[in-house]
């Protein structure tokens, strides 16, 4: 049996059946073949065959991978420069001027700095000399805000968010924010963001409309009504007829017109609904669902089921409220379904947003999720009147997203998935982590802080990370 | 954070620390300390650092 498995495994890796059989006959297993060198194999096979085996099965990939990686990095650097230059292509004269001037002076200014600077300058007339002075000042301020290498940004960030966090009220103010829609705020909301919950306790969307119709209240209302879930009971009277064991549905004409649906559509939806086990018949102004005679419990079930039937709207969106924000109608929703909203006509895909980073991650990807975390956290803190430097929040968002997916901070996320055994053991359930590590023979590179504290070494940050060396003073030039 | 010779504050602390350890263990000072009132090795090391006479630099990974 084992022989057969070996042969199959070898064939799957691209070997001839003949060679595979030969190897298996010698009692070799897949692992043996993989680690065997060409010389080992020539004992059983011809030179050429051994070469083939080593190429196809052997552990040859390491060297090639390294080469590839190096090449990739080079390309990436070039690409980055390209992207950097591309970003300036569309910018107007001022930005270009600033960029050239700052480069000639050897300043390193990021794209966003230059862009914002040029936007600020555009309204004023500035002479050449003033340009230079201005750039010098900006450069100095930029350098002042730079952080030393080896600085413990994580700890500083954690404290800078944690301390204002203690000041946040435990009370949640519902009804704060938008009109009638309450959004979780304060500490509970902060915890929610950092935990990367699947669904926040109050999911909500901000639906913006396309340029042409954003000032049109009627169109906004129409879109809002298409978003909202409408159930049958809201637009129709559902009556029960025990004598004939049937359910009669009489839709309200006014409501139907308002919601823009006709009776045929309702009948279709009822037909599709799985819970309804009767025969759906359309009459002139009503719909009849007849159930098997004598089965009264089924009849009552049918009534309840049909009442709850979704006639229109998006899954999860309970309510939509229209609000005018700077000459523009925006729909705020209770409940969230970003994916379907973006597919709708008349919706501005670029501006429409939900308050759930997880949903944004699923629909738009990690980078968008990162931005969403920053936005939500900043908004929550701002709402409470707490000022936290945006870079602390950005760091949190980076930590949560740097693996390409959304990770929560805490046991199930970042802390529980650290590469270092000792760091994980220091966090929670120490003995289990250590036992597991011992069984698996895990290795700890002692790269992090917690590990080095446990071992009793200087940590790898700040002063502890600096390596000093002797310089011969007589050889110094300056 | 404009730094002497471009050292970060961690590097500065480390260099002064290393140098003051040498001084505290009896190494000859590189500056004349006749007119100094204090004989604290750390003070002396700081003065030496400011003058740029300490024969110690930092190894950096990048650059």
What is the token pair recorded at A106? Answer: 């050897």
**Are B56 and B18 contacting, i.e. CB atoms less than 8 angstroms apart?**
yes
Write the CATH number for A430: 1.10.150.390
**Is there a single domain that holds both residue A161 and residue A179?**
yes
Report if residue B57 sits inside a domain: no
A327 within a domain of the structure (yes/no) = no
A127 interface with B at CB cutoff 8 Å: no
Distance CA A132, CA A26 (A): 80
Is A393 in the same domain as A441? Answer: no
Look at residues A337, A34, A374, A324 and name the one whose alpha carbon lies nearest to residue A208. Answer: A324
Q: Which two tokens stand for residue A320?
A: 């939509």
Task: Spell out which residues of chain B touch residue A146, defining contact as CB-CB under 8 Å.
Answer: 1
Q: Which of A121, A146, A171 is the last residue of a domain?
A: A146
| Residue A333: inside a domain | no
Asked if B21 has any chain A CB less than 8 Å from its own CB, the reply is: no
Cβ-Cβ contacts under 8 Å between A and B: the total is 43
Closest by Cα among A226, A270, A273, A230 to A252: A230
- Assigned domain for B63 exists: no
Cα separation, A293 vs B25, whole angstroms = 105
Residue A204 main-chain phi, psi, to 5 deg = -155, 150
User: B4 in contact with A at a CB cutoff of 8 Å?
Assistant: no
Cβ under 8 Å to A: B residues 32-51: none
How many structural domains does chain B have? 1
User: Within its chain, how far is the Cα of A477 from the centroid?
Assistant: 53
Q: Which domain holds residue A432?
A: 418-465
Give A243-271 pLDDT, tens digit per residue.
777 778 787 777 777 777 777 777 777 77
pLDDT (tens digit, 9 = 90+) per residue, A86-119? 666 666 677 777 777 777 777 878 777 887 887 7
Do A166 and A235 lie in one domain? The reply is no
Q: CB–CB of B58 and A472 under 8 A?
A: no
Q: Does some domain include residue A213? A: no
- Report chain A's mean pLDDT, rounded to a whole number: 80
Residues A301-334: tens digit of each pLDDT = 777 777 777 777 888 888 888 888 888 888 898 8
Bridge-based pairing of strands A246-251 and A236-241 is antiparallel
A136: distance to nearest CA of chain B, Å?
15
H or E element at residue A319: strand A319-324
Q: How far is CA B21 from CA A51, A280, A345, A463, B24, in A?
A: 61, 93, 73, 15, 5
**Is A474 near chain B, with CB under 8 Å?**
no
Nearest CA in chain B to A465: B10
B1 located within any domain: no
Give A200→chain B minimum CA distance, Å.
Answer: 42
Residues A251 and A292 in one domain: yes
- Taking the CB of residue A311, how many other CB atoms lie within 10 A of it? 21
Pair (A239, A304) in one structural domain = yes
Residue B40 lies in a domain: yes
Q: Are residues A401 and A450 in the same domain?
A: no
Q: What is the mean pLDDT of residues A152-162?
A: 91
CATH number of the domain within which A249 lies: 3.90.1150
The answer to whether B6 faces chain A, any CB pair under 8 Å, is: no
For strands A319-324 and A236-241, give the pairing. Answer: unpaired
Residue A99 domain-assigned?
yes
- Which of A164-173, A411-420, B39-48 shows the lowest per-residue confidence on average (mean pLDDT)? A164-173
Closest CA to B11 of A472, A478, A150: A150
Handedness of CA A330, A334, A336, A337 (dihedral sign): negative
pLDDT at A302: 77
- Is residue B45 a contact partner of residue B16, using CB atoms and an 8 Å limit? yes
Mark yes or no for CB contact A462/B56 under 8 Å.
Answer: no
Banded pLDDT at A476 (limits 50, 70, 90): low
User: A277 lies in a domain?
Assistant: yes
Q: Which of A59, A80, A99 is the last residue of a domain?
A: A59
For B46, the domain range is 9-29+36-51
CB contact under 8 A, A466 and B57: no
Q: Could you give the number of structural domains in chain A? A: 5
> Model confidence at A74, in pLDDT bands (50, 70, 90)?
low
């Amino acid at each position: 049996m084992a022989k057969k498995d070996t042969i199959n495994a070898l064939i799957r890796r691209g070997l001839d059946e003949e060679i595979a059989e030969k190897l298996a006959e010698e009692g070799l297993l897949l692992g043996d073949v993989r680690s065997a060198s060409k010389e080992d194999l020539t004992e059983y096979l011809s030179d050429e065959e051994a070469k083939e085996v080593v190429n196809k099965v052997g552990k040859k990939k390491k060297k090639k991978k390294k080469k590839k990686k190096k090449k990739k990095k080079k390309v990436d650097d070039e690409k980055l420069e390209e992207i950097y230059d591309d970003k300036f292509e569309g910018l107007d004269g001022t930005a270009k001027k600033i960029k050239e001037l700052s480069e000639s002076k050897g300043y390193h200014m990021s794209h966003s700095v230059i862009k914002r600077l040029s936007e600020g300058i555009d309204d004023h007339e500035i002479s050449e000399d003033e340009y230079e002075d201005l750039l010098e000042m900006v450069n100095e301020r930029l350098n002042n805000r730079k952080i030393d290498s080896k600085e413990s940004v994580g700890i500083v960030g954690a404290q800078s968010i944690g301390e204002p966090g203690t000041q946040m009220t435990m009370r949640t103010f519902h009804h704060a924010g938008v009109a009638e829609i309450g959004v979780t705020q304060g500490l509970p909301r902060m915890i929610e963001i950092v935990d990367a919950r699947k669904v926040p306790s109050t999911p909500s969307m901000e639906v913006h409309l396309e340029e042409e119709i954003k000032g049109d209240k009627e169109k906004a209302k129409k879109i809002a009504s298409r978003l909202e879930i409408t159930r049958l009971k809201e637009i129709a009277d559902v009556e029960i007829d025990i004598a004939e064991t049937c359910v009669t549905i009489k839709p309200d004409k006014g409501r139907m017109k308002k919601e823009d649906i006709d009776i045929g559509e309702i009948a279709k939806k009822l037909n599709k609904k799985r819970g309804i086990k009767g025969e759906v018949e359309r009459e002139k102004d009503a719909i009849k669902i007849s159930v098997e005679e004598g089965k009264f419990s089924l009849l009552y079930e049918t009534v309840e089921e049909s009442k709850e039937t979704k006639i229109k709207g998006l899954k999860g969106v309970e309510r939509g409220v229209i609000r005018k924000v700077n000459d523009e109608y925006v729909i705020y929703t209770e409940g969230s379904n970003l994916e379907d909203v973006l597919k709708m006509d008349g919706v501005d895909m670029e501006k429409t947003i939900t308050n759930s980073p997880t949903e944004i991650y699923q629909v738009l990807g990690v980078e968008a999720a990162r931005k969403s975390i920053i936005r939500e956290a900043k908004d929550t803190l701002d709402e409470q009147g707490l000022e936290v430097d945006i870079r602390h929040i950005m760091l949190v968002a980076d930590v949560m997203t740097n693996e390409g997916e959304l990770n929560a901070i805490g046991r199930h996320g970042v802390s529980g998935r650290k590469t270092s055994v000792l760091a994980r053991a220091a966090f929670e359930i120490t003995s289990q982590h250590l036992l597991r590590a011992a069984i698996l023979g895990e290795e700890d590179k002692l790269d992090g802080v917690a590990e080095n504290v446990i071992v009793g070494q200087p940590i790898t940050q700040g002063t502890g990370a600096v390596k000093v060396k002797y310089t011969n003073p007589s050889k110094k030039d300056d | 954070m404009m730094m002497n010779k471009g050292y970060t504050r961690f590097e500065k602390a480390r260099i002064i620390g290393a140098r003051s350890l040498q001084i505290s263990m009896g190494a000859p000072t590189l500056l004349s300390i006749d007119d100094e009132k204090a004989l604290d090795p750390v003070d002396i090391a700081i003065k030496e650092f400011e003058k740029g006479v300490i024969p110690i630099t930092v190894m950096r990974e990048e650059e």
